[in-house]
Amino acid sequence: MRPSIRSLPKSISLFRRLLRARAGNATLLMAFGAPALIATAGFAVDTAQWYLWKREMQYAADQAALSAAYSKSKGISTTAYETHAVQEYNANLQLVTFSDTPTVSLAAYNGGTNNSVVVRASATRELAFSGIVLGKPTTVSVSAQATYTAGATYTSCIIATNATADGAITIGGSSILKSGCGIAALSNSTNAIKVDGSPTIDVNYVLAAGGIDDWFNTNTDDVVKEYVTSLADPFASLTPPTNNTAATPYRCVRSGGVTQATLNPGTYTDITTSCNTVMNSGIYVINGGSFTIRAQDAVTANGVMIVLKNGASIKINGGAALNLTAMTSSQLTSAGVSATDAQKLEGILFFEDRNSSGNTSILNGNSSSTINGTVYLPKSLIKFGGTAKTTSRCLQITANMVAVQGNTVMTNFCPAGLTTDTVVSSEGPKVILVS
């Protein structure tokens, strides 16, 4: 018999004894399981390390994108945003000191053009375990994108200060309103600015603390900004001056074939014209009555401020020929106003005391009317119609509510070479991390 055959029973017996044996099982299992255990632990350590790198790099990229976007929104320079991004990225790295220099680029976002900044970065290093297994280093890559809008300052030629009214600004009939300097309503109503009729409007931008009639989006290319939180009354901090001088009796005097009345500054219960009238420079206070100009009368008032108190109102009829110009700071100072207040009050033509009970005022001009200055009626509705021209100052209308009437034709609120400086809203730059 061959030796290999003779040893077979012995081999079988050995395996049977191994199967029956219980000693050493744990050692055997450890021997078989050790590689898997070591691999799992190694990958866990590497994964934790990778996660820490990834998290730190992502945070750094986010901050870099935000910093660069803010730089772009401020318009600091054409390339400063790239420098700021790299500086911010490096400043936020502590563990990953081996990262490559990030790439910074502009990208379009949500239909805009180059209105966002994208930061991309990567870092490559061999991890302790996977480097041995894979035979190559690991690369961690991150990216971040931040969009931006530049800050903006908005001026306006027509402002309604009522905080809650529906139709705080209402434009009606077949009005033609082409101010180019904006309209704004501080009302939070869902229909703060509305259209009632078929007007022609080109005002550049329309602002409201609430909603705005969809008519503007359909019929104009004006910028429409609803629910603006930064709108404010630009004249809210001002107080009108007083003048305790007694009123001049109103008398129409005929001289040289011309009938005319002449008034001096002072406090009046009422001024109602009954002939052509000249108002000498100074401060006029209307206490409880009205400042009324008949349709057939011409009124010239160069360097005046008309203060309305105790429910006083304005009633200027459509046929009236007006030549009204607000006071300069030097004229106000000469009238007894402090130099500091005179600088603030310069250019205000009509000023309603905010403690007044309010009323309805009517301002109708014609093609020969000149109105230079600000009409400020914080407690009243003003109905504006007809037309007017400006020669030395912008016409600025701010009232509790404003109704632009059907026959209005206003194509320019400022004389050539001037623009309104009445700021109704200032918005800081906006930066948002989008990815």
DSSP one-letter string for 199-259 = -EE--SEEEESS-B-THHHHH---EEE-S-TTB--TTTT-------PBPPPP--EEETTEE
Residue 312: Cβ within 10 Å count? 27
- Residue 1: band (very low, low, confident or very high) from pLDDT cuts 50, 70, 90: very low
Of 109, 125, 150, the domain-final residue: 150
Counting runs of H as helices and runs of E as strands, what totals does the chain give? 8, 29
When divided into structural domains, the chain yields a total of 2
Same domain membership, residue 415 and residue 392: yes
Residues 197 and 126 in one domain: no
Using alpha carbons, select from 310, 302, 262 the residue that is nearest to residue 285.
310
Residue 30 maps to a domain:
yes
User: In this structure, are 123 and 205 located in the same domain?
Assistant: no
100 and 192 co-located in one domain: no
Count CA atoms closer than 13 A to 370's CA, side-chain side: 14
Among 127, 150, 173, where does a domain finish? 150
Same domain, 307 and 422: yes
pLDDT tens digits, 376-415: 999 999 999 888 888 889 999 999 999 998 788 888 889 8
| 34, part of any domain | yes
Mean pLDDT of the chain: 88
Residue 397: predicted pLDDT: 95
Task: Specify whether 144 is located in the same domain as 160.
Answer: no
Do 89 and 189 lie in one domain? The reply is no
Q: Is 355 exposed, middle or buried (0-12, 13-18, 19+ CB in 10 A)?
A: exposed
Sign of CA dihedral 429, 430, 431, 435: negative
Residues 182 and 55 both lie in one domain: no
Range in 35-44, 220-229, 294-303, 305-314 with the lowest mean pLDDT? 35-44
> What integer is the mean pLDDT of 154-181?
93
Rounded distance, CA 129 to CA 8, Å?
A: 45
- Same domain? For 109 and 163 the reply is no
4 within some domain: no
DSSP β-bridge partners for residue 177 = 201, 410
pLDDT digits (tens, 9 = 90+) for 136-145: 788 889 999 9
Q: Which of 53-62, 342-351, 360-369 has the highest mean pLDDT?
A: 342-351
pLDDT tens for residues 261-273?
999 999 999 999 9
Report the pLDDT averaged over residues 337-351.
97
- Between these two residues, 281 and 41, which has the higher pLDDT value? 281
Domain membership flag for residue 133: yes
Confidence of residue 17 (pLDDT cuts 50, 70, 90): low
Single residue among 133, 150, 167 that ends a domain in this structure: 150
pLDDT of residue 298: 93
Burial of 24 (0-12, 13-18, 19+ CB in 10 A): exposed
* pLDDT higher at 143 or 32: 143
Indicate whether 115 and 177 sit together in one domain: no
pLDDT at 103 exceeding the cut of 80? yes
In a domain, 340, yes or no: yes
Whether 73 and 163 share a structural domain? no
What is the sign, positive or negative, of the torsion defined by CA atoms of 390, 393, 394, 397?
A: negative
Range of the domain at 247: 153-428
Residue 37 has phi, psi (to 5 degrees) of -65, -45
pLDDT, position 42: 52
Instruction: Kindly give, in sequence order, each residue whose CB lies less than 8 Å from that of residue 115, ignoring residues fewer than 6 positions away.
Output: 108, 109, 147, 148, 149
Tell me which residue has tokens 């406090």: 267
pTM for this predicted structure: 0.76
Question: If you average pLDDT over residues 187-206, what whole number do you get?
Answer: 95
The answer on 298 and 423 residing in a single domain is yes
Question: In terms of pLDDT, which residue wins out, 303 or 96?
Answer: 303
> Residue 85: left if φ>0, alpha if ψ -120 to 50, beta else—which one?
alpha
Rounded alpha-carbon distances, angstroms, from residue 190 to 168, 206, 258, 425: 11, 14, 54, 19
